[in-house]
Chain A
Amino acid sequence: MACFLVPAAEALVTTLAEKGIEKKENDAEKEQNGAEQSEFAATAKKPFVQKLKWLRNLLWGGSALLMFEHVWHGEVVPFFPFLTAASNPEDAAEMIHEMSTVGVAMAVLVTLVWAGMVVVSSRIEKRADAEKVSAK
């Protein structure tokens, strides 16, 4: 009915968080400019904001394609109130129930998969750094 709205909302939050972190990192980089490069910059480590982009892309991409599915089924329409289920209280209750079950589960699964990817990539990066150090 409107389950895609939950991951879409998470995508929006992720995008805003990413912009905030990116700005902070840029400011920190400017401060560091001219000074000695940090140990962090010398490693092959991807900054966290780069990994946050993975989550953003998964959530926006998935939500966009799911929204199309809802348009296909006539659950999303191009005129007010945009969600057909929102036009009467009974359907609206069902829609909110679906959002709180299926929608939340979708957002949680995507986030868990992303967290798994972050853990695995961090391990790979650590191993690569360790190999670099031992080669020196």
Chain B
Amino acid sequence: MTLLTSAAAAVICTIIWYKNAPKNEMKVGILCWMYWGATLMWLVDAIFEYVELGAEYFTPAPADMLNDLFLGLSVVVLGLIIWLVILLIKDPKGVIKEALKKKKDV
């Protein structure tokens, strides 16, 4: 479920990035790399688990599935927070710089 959630996030972010390319004002590329990196790593984890459990891997207990979904969503939110912090620090549109300048002038 975690793999599925991060893969879905990676696909959505890639579509958003492609739609806005070559403009990259919102730095959506950061999100794409982050989610794809995590997806690839969880894919390896899933393969190892599949080798160990066999077909049982595809029939998890509902409680485990819910916990994994909760974890997946939390991971997506954490990724969004990391992206937001990077976006605000890099401030590609100069919004924060402008606001601070205005405050100083007043």
A7 contacts across to B, CB distance below 8 A: 37, 41
At the interface, is chain B mostly helix, strand, loop or mixed? Answer: helix
Smallest Cβ-Cβ distance to B39: which chain A residue: A62
Cβ-based interface call for B88 (8 A): no
Q: How far is the CB of A9 from chain B (nearest CB, A)?
A: 13
B42 contacts across to A, CB distance below 8 A: 66
**CB–CB A69/B37 < 8 A:** no
What is B's interface to A at a CB cutoff of 8 Å?
A: 2, 6, 29-30, 33-45, 47-48, 71, 74-75, 78-79, 82
Question: What are 11 inter-chain pairs, A to B, with CB distance below 8 A?
Answer: A7-B37, A58-B33, A60-B37, A61-B36, A61-B79, A69-B2, A102-B45, A106-B44, A106-B45, A110-B40, A113-B40
Given contacts A62-B39, A65-B79, A105-B47, 4 further A-B contacts (CB under 8 A): A58-B36, A61-B37, A64-B78, A66-B42
Q: Identify the 4 closest CB pairs spanning chains A and B, nearest first.
A: A62-B37, A61-B34, A57-B33, A65-B38
